[in-house]
Chain A
Amino acid sequence: MAARVVVEGEMADRLAELGLSVEIVERAVRRADAEASMCTPLDPPIMEGLTRWGRTNRFLREELIPAGWRCDNPSNLPRTIHPSGGFAIVATTGDELTGLADLLPATKYPKGYATVQAVEINEQLALDFGDFDLGPAGGPAGGPAADAGDLLTWLLLFHVDEVGFRAELSLPDRIADGRITSWAERIILPFFPRDDDRLADLITPDRGDRDEGVVVEVNRRPA
Chain B
Amino acid sequence: MLTPSRLVIARKRRGLTLTRLADLTGLSTRSISLYENGHQTPSEETLRQLADVLDVSAAFLGAPDIDEIPQDAVSFRALSKMTARQRDRALSAGRIALLINDWIEARFHLPARDIPSLTGHDPEAAAEVVRARWGLGERPVGNVLHLLESRGVRIYSLTAENSELDAFSLYWNGQPFIFLSTSKSGERGRFDAAHELGHLVLHGEHLVPSRPAAEVEANRFAAAFLMPRAGVLAQGLRDATPEAVLAAKRTWKVAAMALTHRLHELDLLTEWGYRTACVQLSRLGYRRTERDGIPRESSQLLAKVFRSVRDHGETPAAIAMAVGITADELRSHVFGLTLTAITGDPAAAPAPARGALHLVRPAD
Residues of chain A at the chain B interface (Cβ within 8 Å): 30, 33-42, 195-199, 203, 206-209, 211-221
Contacts and interface: CB of A to CB of B under 8 A. Distances in A.
B298 interface: yes
A21 to B, nearest CB: 20
B146 A36 contact: no
29 contacts: A35-B137, A37-B135, A40-B230, A40-B231, A41-B234, A41-B235, A42-B233, A195-B135, A196-B150, A197-B135, A199-B111, A206-B307, A208-B303, A211-B143, A211-B300, A214-B146, A215-B150, A215-B300, A217-B109, A217-B110, A217-B111, A218-B109, A218-B301, A219-B108, A220-B107, A220-B108, A220-B109, A220-B312, A221-B106
B142 A39 contact: no
Interface string B280-310: 0000000000000000001011011101100
Nearest to B114: A198
A198 B114 CA distance: 10
Given A41-B235, A203-B308, A216-B146, 12 more contacts: A33-B135, A34-B135, A37-B139, A40-B233, A42-B230, A195-B135, A199-B111, A209-B339, A216-B150, A217-B150, A218-B300, A220-B308
B111 to A, nearest CB: 5
Interface in B292-338: 298, 300-301, 303-305, 307-308, 312
A216 B137 contact: no
Contacts of A196: 150
Given A212-B143, A220-B308, A34 B234 contact: no
B147 interface: yes
Shortest 3 CB-CB distances between A and B: which pairs? A37-B137, A212-B142, A40-B234
B78 interface: no
A214 B136 contact: no
Contact of B132 (A34, A41, A42, A203): A34
A62 to B, nearest CB: 17
B136 A218 contact: no
Contacts of A197: 135
Contacts of A213: 142
B142 A214 contact: yes
Interface in B83-120: 106-111, 114
A219 B301 CA distance: 10
B137 A38 contact: yes
Interface string B117-138: 0000000000000001001111
A221 B231 contact: no
B149 interface: yes
Contact of B137 (A34, A41, A208, A215): A34
A218 B138 contact: no
Interface residues of B, number: 35
Interface in B264-293: none
Contacts of A199: 111, 150
Nearest to B297: A211
A218 B150 contact: no
Given A36-B137, A37-B135, A208-B307, A221 B109 contact: yes
Contacts of A212: 142-143, 146
Contacts of A35: 137
Contacts of B233: 40, 42
Contacts of A41: 234-235
Contacts of A220: 107-109, 308, 312
B132 A216 contact: no
Contacts of A30: 135
Given A37-B136, A38-B137, A206-B304, A216 B142 contact: no
Interface in B228-268: 230-231, 233-235
A206 B300 contact: yes
Nearest to A36: B137
Nearest to B135: A34
A41 B234 CA distance: 5
Contact of A216 (B139, B149, B308, B340): B149
Contacts of B300: 206, 209, 211, 214-216, 218
B339 A208 contact: yes
Contact of A42 (B234, B298, B303, B340): B234
A207 B108 CA distance: 19
Nearest to B107: A221
Contacts of A36: 137
A211 B301 contact: no
B301 A216 contact: yes
B298 A209 contact: yes
A38 B146 contact: no
A104 B72 CA distance: 62
Contacts of B307: 206-208
Nearest to A219: B109
Nearest to A194: B135
A195 B109 CA distance: 19
B195 to A, nearest CB: 19
Interface in B198-247: 230-231, 233-235
